Structure formats: C-alpha cells, structure tokens
C-alpha cells in the first residue's frame, strides 16, 4: 500500500484534502466576492494545501487558474516593481504555465 503520509510538504493539486470543507467554501465565496483575498496563518497550518488541493481544482472548472507564484526572487536593477517582476517570472517558468 502506498504510504499516505507525504511528509512536511503541502498537499499537491488534485489530491484529497480532509477536514477543510468549511474553509474551502468560505475561501471560494470570499474570492468570488472580493477578488483579492489575503490568507494568513501560522506556518504549517495548511494554507498552501488548502489552495492547491482545495481551491485550485474547484476553480479550474470555471476560471482560468494560474499556478501559484512567489514574490521572492532578487530584484533586477531595472525593475519598477520587484514584486510584480518576481510574480511574472514565476509564471513564465515552464512548469508554472497557467493551467
Ligand atoms: N487537511 C489536511 N489534512 C492533513 N494534513 C494536512 C492538511 N492540510 C495540510 N496538511 C499537512 O500539513 C503540513 C503543512 O501544510 P502546508 O504546507 O499546506 O502549510 P502552510 O500553511 O502553507 O505552511 P507555510 O506557511 O510554512 O507555507 C503539510 O505536511 C501538509 O501535508
Ligand atoms: Mg505554504
């Protein structure tokens, strides 16, 4: 039998997620109503897993969902906004193409 414990990695897309139905519904409603939502919690609480396994598969049926990206790459000298530049660079990576 495959070991169901994946270790300290976020649950990936399209894997089952348990015990988060209320959070998935709440986040779905917030995203649709507000468009921009800040999700915060202590490290390890399950944010990435909630987004990957709970939100992205549900939204992919209706919306053009882009992969998560990060705003942590070093800024280039000519960047007017290093955070936007980093986010765009993340989406340009082949593995991170919009799904
Ligand atoms: N619903 C769940 N059921 C069981 N395990 C879960 C669940 N959600 C997350 N986990 C597990 O908890 C751990 C932390 O999850 P995750 O990486 O998603 O947290 P995080 O809030 O994004 O953390 P960080 O702030 O450090 O990025 C991972 O090992 C993940 O597999
Ligand atoms: Mg995370």
pLDDT tens sequence across 40-79: 999 899 999 999 999 999 999 899 898 888 888 777 777 7
Cβ of 46 below 6 Å from ligand 1: yes
Say what the pLDDT of residue 94 is. Answer: 64
Task: Count Cβ neighbours within 10 Å for each residue of 47-68 and write b for 16 or more, e otherwise.
Answer: bebbbbbbbbbebeeeeebeee
- In contact, 27 and 50? CB cutoff 8 Å: yes
How does the average pLDDT of the chain come out, rounded? 87
Grouping H, G, I as helix, E, B as strand and the rest as coil, residue 89 is helix
Q: Is 43 in the pocket of ligand 1 (CB under 6 A)?
A: yes
Backbone angles phi, psi at 97, to 5 degrees: -60, 150
Of ligand 1's listed atoms, the one at least distance from the Cα of 11 is 31
Ligand in nearest proximity to the CA of 47: 1
Look at residue 3 in the predicted model and tell me its pLDDT.
78
Quick one: which of 39, 32, 77 has its CA closest to 85? 77
Backbone dihedral region for residue 81 (phi beyond 0: left; psi -120 to 50: alpha; all else: beta): beta
Q: Which ligand is nearest to the CA of 49?
A: 1
- pTM across the whole model: 0.84
């Amino acid at each position: 039998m495959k070991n169901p414990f994946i270790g300290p990695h976020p649950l990936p897309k399209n894997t089952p997620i348990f015990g988060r139905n209320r959070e998935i519904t709440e986040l779905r409603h917030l995203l649709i109503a507000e468009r921009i939502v800040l999700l915060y919690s202590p490290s390890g609480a399950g944010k990435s897993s909630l987004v990957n396994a709970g939100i992205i598969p549900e939204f992919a049926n209706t919306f053009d969902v882009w992969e998560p990206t990060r705003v942590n790459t070093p800024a280039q000298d000519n960047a007017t906004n290093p955070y936007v530049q980093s986010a765009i660079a993340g989406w340009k990576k082949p593995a991170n193409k919009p799904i």
